[in-house]
Each structure stands twice: as structure tokens, then as C-alpha cells.
Chains A and B, each alone.
Chain A
Amino acid sequence: MIKKGEWVRIHNIVLEPSERSPKIPDDTSKVPLEMWTKGFLQEDAEIGDQVSVKTAVGRIATGKLIEVNPYYTHSYGKFVPELIHIDKQLREIMFGGEE
């Protein structure tokens, strides 16, 4: 049970594939247009329920409850060895490897 007042993320299908603009590429026309937003849950609910939330600007939005206390996981990425190679090369060109 997720309590009213929790900060949650909701999901919506805005347009089904059949409703999409005719002017888009084939691969895009085969999938729905989806939407996500976040807000304070307006009633006790379970993940997967249709709910309403009050967003950061105070508007009421509805959608399927998919996440509680949503957080970001983007990062500085895994090591990319090429970058170290660039650093080394630039120092050699600019400073000739001298001490």
C-alpha cells in the first residue's frame, strides 16, 4: 500500500499507435506516445493503479502509478579508455613528454 501524500511517478499512454500522426517514421508509428510525470499521490493506492497526483506546479494529473520516491540513476558513465589516451596524446604533442 502506498500512502496518500507520497511522492510518486505516473505513466500514461497519450496516443495509441493507431492515433499517431501520419507524418512519422514507421518504427515510431508502431509504438504508442507515452508520458511520465511526478507528484504527490492523492489517495492510497497500489503500484499499477490509476491514480491522481498533485504535481510540482499544483496541477492534478492522472495516470498509472509506477514508482514511489522516484530517483535518478544517471551518472558519469563507465570508464572509457579512449579518453585517457586522448589526454596522454595531447600532453605529448603540447609538452613533448618533457619533465
Chain B
Amino acid sequence: MALAKDYASVMGRSNEIMKTALGLDYQDFESGSVKFDYEGLMKSTGYTLDEVNRIQSLTGVGNTPLLELRNLSALSRKYAKPGFGARIFAKDEAANPSGSFKARRAACAVAHAKKLGYKGVIAATSGNYGAAVASQAAMQGLRCIIVQECYDSRGVGQPEIVEKARRCEAYGAEVVQLTVGPELFYSFLSLLEDSGYFNASLYSPFGIAGVETLGYEIAMQCREKLGKDPEVVVCTNAGGGMITGTARGLLKAGATNTQFVGASIDLTGLHMASDKQFNRKSCTTGHTGFGVPYATDPDHSDVPRSAARPLRYMDRYVYVTQGEVFYITEALANLEGIERGPAGNTALAAAFALAQELPEDAVIVISETEYTGAGKHIQPQLDFARDNGIEILFGDPSQDRPGENIVLPKDPSLIRCKDADLDRMRASLIRKAAATRNANPTPEDIAFLAEETKTDEVFVRSVLEQ
């Protein structure tokens, strides 16, 4: 008998569909309360760091160059007090086959799908991950469907996302495009069910294990080039996979003194599911619209338990503006001779400011660059913003109003990052986790929530008592 394919019926089969599409039963890791076995979930991949490295090497993924951005470091130093202004390095992840670090996640997810005998893979993503999965599917001989949120109700697509669709098609994937709305998940589930393909989720343990090599390489390259671990690693933060995997990799390499900083573009005030506001943002990833909800509630993703849990690793979370990221992207091209980003340069804008807090011999690494192309470049993105009524001006980025203007810093001294209230986010995660799973957390739950938020049991208890 054919299954009913209406919204309620498909959503009602969500757990079943997911289990079939992931080859993994998340129930195995649940305690029945707030706590779940995160490390158990990560180990369930069965892939060690060496094994992941081997899988990635088969398709030319990883082992990307670590570039010192000498001119940008010198520029930053001009605005620091004497003796300050750290050396800024960038992990040139654009050198991966699909043009971004997402190739690392996709390599593992697709290899795992192949090992389990799936004929194809599906991923719901409007970002670089789509191209990464499509590229890996092409290399490993699987079929691929990418599901994108791309258009507003006028049929106007974000130029960045349209380019990513083109790239997926170039790798032979089918690209299913949708208008704005979280019900994309229904179409995604329906496609998973009909095709029997693997859910190459960004948030699976296979995907996150794939990012660990990035952190490990950063530690090894810094030791080789500089004889020490980096003082600070800055990761552009959206869904949380980058900082989770990178930090885990650095920690596996023994880099226990490195500070992990997340950076997002501040789009406070824009609603991510709003049809009218969809095209009033000028960066489609690396922003707070993903960064904050995924940090405070990682499990609202497309898998029952996300392997990306940024608050476990983040020591500091900073916001930059769209204008600052656009400015630093132009500076990267002009002063360093590499055209990358823009969204991946969120961490670079933050690092430019953070470097000024650190002494000259300190090392700050940004964990990624990403490819640039038609549509996915500051000129088309600024042009698109202007066409959509966004004012573009030079000034003080503190005057930035997401959806209304883009304030390009009048000069580089005005590139400043703003600290987000990490304790407030930690409290939010604790409250949400307690409310969703259980009203009376057990002592094990309290210990788990302290790990989840990189805090201690005293902090967790104080939040729960409020």
C-alpha cells in the first residue's frame, strides 16, 4: 500500500525515516532524561582520526595550506598598542576539491553511506555543504540530491545560493529548490523516504568526525612552522560543526591551551523564516540567525541529536557586522592576493580585531577560507543588497542595522568585534534542555549540562534554580 505523503503523515514518520536514512538508532545513546551519551555517539562512527584522514586523502580532501596573512597582520598592528598585534594565519580550506572545509564533512558522510550500501545521498543545505556532498558523491560514485531554501515568494533567489545550486549541478547532483520556510524539512523527509538514500546530514557524527582533521592539522602545522600551538583559533559559526570539529581535533592533538572563539555576523532583528526578510540579508551563512539558535538548542537540526555542539568548546563568542566582513574580504584580496569568501571571512574580520588584544608574537588562526564565484562574491552580494533597498555607506559599523543598511568601516580601525553574552546562551541551553527532556534533572543530567556548556555544576544549578 502506498504511504500517505501529506504533511502530517510524513512528519509523523520522521523518526522511522531518519533511522532508515542514517543507519543509526539514536535511541541507543539516550538516557531517558536530559543526558545523552555524546562521546558514545561520536565513537559510533568507528572512525579514528587516522581513518578519517585516510578517507579524506583518497579524494584529495584536507592537508590544506596554512597561510600567514602578513599584510593583514601588519595592518591590524597599526591599530594596536605598541608590542601588540598577533600574527594572523588562515587555513586555506578553499583548496579542498569542492572549495570549502565542508568537503571534510561530506567525504566521511558519503564514504559511510557507500559502506552501508546506500545508492545515493541527500542533504538539506543552501550552503557550501551541498557542493561538497555533490562533489564527493561524484567521486565515490553515488547519486545525490541537494535540497535548498533559495527563493522568496517573488521567485527571487539569493545570488550566493543560486551559485551553490549551479555548482551542485556541475557535479551531477539534482538540486531541489524551495521558497522560504522550515517546512523544507517535510520535502526533505519525503525525498529521503521515496529514494531510500542516506541522510548526509551536516550534524551526523560522521560529518563532525570529518572536521576533526582540520583542527589536528592546524595544531601540527603551527608546531612545524612556529614551534608552538596557536594562542587563539577563530571559527566562523553557523550550525556549530566547524568549531566543534576543529576544537575536538586540536584537543586530540593535545593543544589544550588554545582558546576557541566563535564568530558570527550579527543579523539580530532579521527573522530567518520570514519571506520578506529573506532577501534583506546579504550573507546567507556564518550569521547569528543560525549561530545563536544552533548553539542554544543544537538538537533542532535534521538529526535527532546533533554532533555539532558549539557551547561545549567555545571560550568566547564574538559578533561582527556584514560591512566589516565585506571590507575584510576586499582587504584579503587586495593585500594578500587571495580572493575568498565572503561568508567564510567572518572569522577573519573578528581575528583582525582580536589580534590587537594579543602580543605580537601570539598566533591567531582562522580555521577556513571558502571559494568565491559568480553570485558568491562581495560585488554581486552588495549589488543585490542595493537592488533590494539596502543602504550601503561608509561609517562606523556600530551603526549597522541588519536588513536596512550595510555600514562599511570608514577605515580599518573601526573593525571591532562585539562580545556576545556567552553565559546567557549557556543558561538558555540549560533551560531549554531541561524543559524539553525532563522537569527534574538528575545529578547525571547536571554533570552533562556542565559539559554541554563548558561550565560547572554550580553554574548549571544556579540557572535551574532561577
B177 touches A37 (CB 8 A): yes
Give chain A's interface residue range (CB within 8 Å of chain B): 35 or more
Q: B271-287 CB contact bits vs A (8 Å, 1 = yes)?
A: 10111100000000000
B380 touches A75 (CB 8 A): yes
Q: Within 8 Å of chain A (Cβ to Cβ): is B375?
A: yes
Across-interface contacts of A87 in B (CB, < 8 A): 330, 334
Nearest A residue to B406, CB-CB: A82
Across-interface contacts of B271 in A (CB, < 8 A): 25
A74 touches B382 (CB 8 A): no
A80 touches B383 (CB 8 A): yes
Q: Within 8 Å of chain A (Cβ to Cβ): is B242?
A: no
Q: Within 8 Å of chain A (Cβ to Cβ): is B403?
A: no
- Which listed residue (A20, A56, A77) contacts B169, Cβ 8 A? A56
B408 touches A82 (CB 8 A): yes
Across-interface contacts of A76 in B (CB, < 8 A): 374, 377, 379-380
Nearest A residue to B149, CB-CB: A33
Q: A7-40 CB contact bits vs B (8 Å, 1 = yes)?
A: 0000000110001110111011011111111110
- Which listed residue (A25, A34, A80) contacts B379, Cβ 8 A? A80
B75 touches A90 (CB 8 A): yes
Complex Cα distance A31/B120, Å? 32
With contacts A57-B143, A58-B143 taken as known, whether A89 is within 8 angstroms of B411 at the C-beta atoms is yes
Which of B181-189, B212-220, B256-264, B422-430 is near enough to bind chain A? B181-189
Q: Within 8 Å of chain A (Cβ to Cβ): is B139?
A: no
Across-interface contacts of A15 in B (CB, < 8 A): 7, 183, 186
A38 touches B174 (CB 8 A): yes
Nearest B residue to A88, CB-CB: B334
Which of B100-108, B158-166, B291-299, B314-322 is near enough to bind chain A? B158-166
Complex Cα distance A78/B379, Å? 7
A34 touches B151 (CB 8 A): yes
Across-interface contacts of A1 in B (CB, < 8 A): none
A28 touches B273 (CB 8 A): yes
Q: Within 8 Å of chain A (Cβ to Cβ): is B459?
A: no
Complex Cα distance A89/B143, Å? 48
Across-interface contacts of A27 in B (CB, < 8 A): 274-276
Q: Which of A64-99 contact B (CB under 8 A)?
A: 72, 74-80, 82-83, 85-87, 89-91, 93-94
Q: How far is the CB of B278 from chain A (nearest CB, A)?
A: 9
Q: Report 23 cross-chain contacts, Cβ distance below 8 Å, ordered by A residue.
A: A14-B186, A19-B7, A21-B183, A24-B181, A27-B276, A33-B181, A39-B174, A57-B143, A59-B195, A74-B157, A75-B374, A75-B375, A76-B374, A76-B377, A76-B379, A76-B380, A77-B377, A77-B381, A78-B379, A79-B383, A80-B378, A82-B408, A93-B412
- A residues touching B (Cβ–Cβ < 8 Å)? 14-15, 19-21, 23-25, 27-28, 30-39, 55-59, 72, 74-80, 82-83, 85-87, 89-91, 93-94
Known pairs A58-B143, A74-B163 / 16 extra A-B pairs, C-beta < 8 Å: A27-B274, A27-B275, A28-B181, A33-B181, A37-B177, A55-B145, A57-B144, A74-B157, A74-B166, A74-B374, A75-B374, A76-B374, A76-B380, A78-B379, A90-B331, A91-B334
- B residues touching A (Cβ–Cβ < 8 Å)? 7, 71, 74-75, 78, 120, 143-145, 151, 153, 155, 157, 159, 162-163, 166, 169, 172-184, 186-187, 194-195, 271, 273-276, 327, 330-331, 334-335, 374-375, 377-384, 386, 392, 394, 408, 411-412
